[in-house]
Amino acid sequence: MKHLLAILAEGRPLTSDQTSEAFELIMTGEAEPAQVGALLSMIQLRGPHMEEIVGAARVMRAKAVSVEVPAGLVCIDTCGTGGDGSSTFNISTAAAIVAAGAGRQRGVVVAKHGNRSITSKSGSSQVLEALGVTLGGQPQALTRCLDEAGLCFCFAPAHHPAMKHVMPTRQALGFRTLFNILGPLTNPAGATRQVMGVFDPALTEPLAGALGELGSKRAMVVHGGGVDELITTGPTRISELRDGRVKTWEFDPATLHLAPSSAGALEVDSPQGSAAVIHRLLEGEAGPARDIVTLNAAAALTVADLANDLAEGLTLACKAIDSGAARRVLERLVELTTADPVK
C-alpha cells in the first residue's frame, strides 16, 4: 500500500490496476486504517479519475454477494448516489416499480440496488419497508422476485459484506469519499443497463465512461438542479452511454409537455410520507409526483431498449400505471418478501 500512497502523494492518479490492488487490501482488512484514510482523502481532494473509479468498482463487484437473473431476461437498475441533501420522496424507487410494471411482460426486470439514507428524509430501503416489503432476502429469493414480480431490492449491506473493513474509517473521516459513488456501480445482479443519478454534475461524464469500461451496454448518468434524478422543475444534465460512446446533453422537460413543478411539491418528511405519495401515484393520481416518476421510468425503459426515446418511454410508463401493472408489481413484491423473508 505504501508505494501506492507515494504515487498519490506525488500528485499522480492511480491506474485501474493500481486502484484494484489498493482496494483489494482495503476490502480484505489488510490495509491499516491510517492508510485507508490517506488514500481516500488524497483521491477525494482532487477528485477521482475514471480509471480509479473503475479499479475500485471491479474489486467491490468481485466481493459482492451476487443475484442470478432468470435466463432470457434483461436486468436494469435505477440506483443513484444519493447525497444530494434533498427532501424529495423516493423518486428512483417509484420509477423502478413503474419500469418493472412496463417491462416484465417484455422481458425486462429491475434489480433495485439501495441502502438507508443518511442525507435525505427517506432512503430506498426505508420507503420499501414502509410500503410493506421485507428486506434482506437470500439471493435465490431475490431471483424469484425478479421472475415473478419483475422487481427485487438488493439491500446494500446484505450484498457487500467486505464494506465492514472500511466503515470505521469512513465514519471517522466524516466526508464524501470514492465509496459514495461506488454503490450504483456495483449492482449485485450485474445490471448492464441503468439510470444513475449523481449528486454532482461534474460526475456525469466520468461515471458514464466508467460504466462503459465496466461492461454496461447502455446507461444514463443524470443530475438535475441539485438532485440525483431527472427533474421536471428545470433542465437535467444527462451523460448517455450508448454504443460504447458517451454523449452529454441537456434535457428540457418542456419538450415532453410535462408541466413545470416546484421542488416543494415533491418533498416529504418521512418514509411513511414518501410511501403515501407512491401509493397515490400508483393508484393513478395525476400531478408532479406522477410526472417526475414517469419521466425517470421513461429513462429506464429507454436504456433497456424498450423505448426508442424518452417520449416513447413516457407513454409506456404512463400505461404501466393506468393499467394497474405497476401497482401489481409492488403488491407481488410485498407478497413474495413477506411469505419468504430471510433474516
CATH code of residue 176: 3.40.1030.10
Average pLDDT over residues 111-122: 72
Alpha helices in 1-151 (DSSP H): 2-9, 16-26, 33-46, 50-62, 91-103, 124-130, 139-148
pLDDT of residue 36: 96
Whether residue 274 sits in one domain with residue 139: yes
Q: How far is 267 from 271, CA to CA, in rounded Å?
A: 11
122 in the same domain as 27:
no
Last residue within a domain, chosen from 16, 41, 62: 62
> What pLDDT, on the 0 to 100 scale, is given for residue 343?
41
Which pLDDT tens digit goes with each residue over 132-154? 999 988 999 999 999 999 999 99
The three grid cell numbers given for residue 303, joined into one nine-digit string: 436504456
The verdict on residue 67 lying in a domain is: no
pLDDT, average across residues 222-244: 92
Residue 247 lies in a domain: yes
Residue 330: pLDDT above 90? yes
What pLDDT sits at residue 117?
60
Using CB atoms within 10 Å of the CB of residue 305, give its burial: 0 to 12 exposed, 13 to 18 middle, 19+ buried.
middle
Q: Are residues 333 and 205 in the same domain?
A: yes
Q: Is 343 a domain residue? A: no
- Residue 141: inside a domain: yes
Q: Report whether 8 contacts 39 (CB < 8 A).
A: yes
Residue 326 makes CB contacts below 8 A (sequence gap 6+) with: 97, 98, 100, 101, 102, 282, 320
Joined grid coordinates for residue 302: 429507454
- Residue 263: is its pLDDT beyond 80? no
The last residue of a domain, from among 14, 39, 62: 62
Name the percent of the chain in helix, strand, coil, to the closest 5: 50, 15, 35
Dist CA 81 CA 145 (whole Å): 24
- For the cut 90, the answer to whether the pLDDT of residue 253 exceeds it is yes
**What is the percentage of the chain residues whose pLDDT exceeds 90?**
78
The H or E element spanning position 296 is helix 288-303
Tell me: do 285 and 205 sit in the same domain.
yes
Query: Is residue 308, in this structure, part of any structural domain at all?
Result: yes
Q: Same domain for 95 and 235? A: yes
User: Do residues 56 and 105 share a domain?
Assistant: no
Instruction: Give yes or no: residues 12 and 93 share one domain.
Output: no
pLDDT recorded at residue 340: 52
* Average pLDDT for 232-243: 95
What pLDDT is stored for residue 83 in this prediction?
Answer: 59
Q: Are residues 211 and 125 in the same domain?
A: yes
User: Is 122 a residue whose pLDDT tops 80?
Assistant: no
Please tell me the predicted confidence (pLDDT) of residue 158. Answer: 87
Q: In this predicted structure, what is the pLDDT of residue 108?
A: 97
| Residues linked to residue 337 through DSSP beta bridges, in sequence order | none
The predicted pLDDT at position 120 comes to: 54
Residue ending a domain, among 12, 32, 62, is: 62
Q: Which of 29, 36, 113 is nearest to 67 (CA)?
A: 113
pLDDT tens digits along 53-101:
999 999 999 999 999 999 999 999 998 887 555 678 899 999 999 999 9
99 lies in some domain: yes
Place of cell 449523481: 198
By DSSP bridging, strand 236-242 and strand 245-251 are antiparallel
Average model confidence (pLDDT) for the chain? Answer: 92
276 and 174, same domain (yes or no): yes
Classify burial at 264, counting beta carbons within 10 Å of its beta carbon; exposed 0-12, middle 13-18, buried 19 or more. exposed
CA distances from 335 to 78, 81, 103, 313, 338 (A): 22, 28, 20, 28, 5
pLDDT tens track for 150-195: 999 999 888 888 988 988 998 899 888 999 899 899 999 999 999 9
Q: Give, as one character, the DSSP assignment of residue 87.
A: -
pLDDT value at 316 more than 70:
yes
Residue 213 to residue 79: CA distance in whole angstroms: 18
Number of domains in the chain: 2
Nearest in space to 285 (alpha carbons), one of 116, 78, 89, 80? 89
Maximum distance among all alpha carbons in the chain? 59
For residues 156 and 51, membership in a common domain is answered with no
CATH number at residue 57: 1.20.970.10
Q: What single letter denotes the amino acid at residue 41?
A: S
- pTM for the model: 0.92
Q: Is residue 245 part of a domain?
A: yes
Q: In the predicted model, is pLDDT for residue 341 greater than 80?
A: no
Is the pLDDT at 124 greater than 90? The verdict is no
Same domain, 56 and 183: no
**Collapsing DSSP states into helix, strand and coil, what is residue 71?**
coil
- What are 223's three cell numbers? 443530475
DSSP-derived secondary structure letter, 227? B
Are residues 83 and 46 located together in one domain of the fold?
no
Question: Helix, strand, or coil here: 185?
Answer: helix
User: Is the residue at 330 inside a domain?
Assistant: yes
Give the domain range for residue 58.
2-62
